[in-house]
Structure 1
Amino acid sequence: MKTSARNQFFGKVTAVTPGAVTTEVEVGLKGGSKIIATVTKTSEETLGIKVGVDVVVLVKAPTVIILTDAAGYRLSARNQLPGTVSKVQKGSVNAEVLVELAGGDTIASSITNESVDALGLAVGSKATAVFKAGAVILGVAG
């Protein structure tokens, strides 16, 4: 599959929590990380989402926020994936930051060069990739 979404993860649905309009879907990745997606009831039914189904998770890099210190704050974003910065590539205005997760998956974020400097991001530094469940797109084969 070819897609413009920079982040593509393959995993299995580990939990499905239906709501009145939307369904919360938990996807387990290798290494134990989990991604939460919120999809419509129609998408749940159309895609055949249920526990055990193999899915691809898509997340566009500009929706991923990089956090280095929560300073005691709790966030409403359901997806908070800790890891280690494996690459920082600055452009003229923005930078691509890659964070390696447990198990070897890597998540990319597109943030400003100013943010890279303010956060002190460098290869080897600890960081958490944060994004909302609504920013996740799920796909299934077939």
Structure 2
Amino acid sequence: MPISARNVFKGSVTAIKEGPIHAEVVVTTPGGDSIVATLTEASVQSLGLKLGSTAVAVIKAPSVSLMSGAPEYRFSARNQLTGTVSAIHAGAINSQVTLTLAGGSRLVAVVTNDAVSALGLKTGEAAIALFKAGHVMVGVPV
């Protein structure tokens, strides 16, 4: 499936928490990495999402923030995934940073070169990816 977003996590729906307007849907990869998405109830119904459904979670790389070191604060971002920096590709202004998550999935963030420097990001070092559940799109096979 060609798509411009760099982060496409194939997996299955492992949780659905429904509400009157929105639902929280968890897509878990075969390696155990879980992505939480906030969708409208209408989307849950139109996609036919049920526990065990095959699905993809899609996150655009610029929607991912990174954090390094021991957290000093708690954040409202529903997705906070710890990984190891496996690649950093610097551009003129921004860098593409790839994390390998515990379950083996790779997640890409686009952050400024200044952020890479300020966070002390280096290949082989731990980092945390943060992104809001509202920035996650969910897709199902046709």
Give the TM interval when normalised to the shorter protein.
over 0.9
Aligned partners of 2:84, 2:101: CA distance in 1, in Å? 7
Local SS of the residue matching 2:121: coil
Q: Paired residue for 1:25?
A: 25
Cα separation, partners in 2 of 1:56 and 1:34, compared to 1, 3 Å: same
* 1:91 partnered with 2:86: no
TM-score calculated relative to the size of structure 2: 0.97
Q: Paired residue for 2:80?
A: 80
Q: Paired residue for 2:137?
A: 137
Residue 137 of structure 1: how far off its partner (Å): 0.2
Residue 18 of structure 1: how far off its partner (Å): 0.5
Q: Which amino acid aligns with 1:112?
A: T
Q: Paired residue for 1:57?
A: 57
Residue 20 of structure 1: how far off its partner (Å): 1.1
| Superposition CA RMSD, Å | 0.9
Aligned partners of 1:121, 1:82: CA distance in 2, in Å? 13
The 4+ residue runs of structure 1 with deviation greater than 6 A are none
Q: Paired residue for 2:3?
A: 3
Q: Paired residue for 1:42?
A: 42
Aligned partners of 2:59, 2:123: CA distance in 1, in Å? 22
* 1:127 partnered with 2:107: no
TM-score calculated relative to the size of structure 1: 0.97
Question: How far does the alpha carbon of each residue in 1:16-47 deviate from its partner, in whole angstroms, 9 at most, with x for none?
Answer: 00011111001112322211000011100000
Residue 87 of structure 1: how far off its partner (Å): 0.2
Query: How many residue pairs were aligned?
Result: 142
Q: Paired residue for 1:69?
A: 69
Aligned partners of 2:33, 2:81: CA distance in 1, in Å? 7
Aligned partners of 1:139, 1:69: CA distance in 2, in Å? 33
Q: Paired residue for 1:14?
A: 14
Unaligned runs of 5+ in 1: none
Residue 103 of structure 1: how far off its partner (Å): 2.3
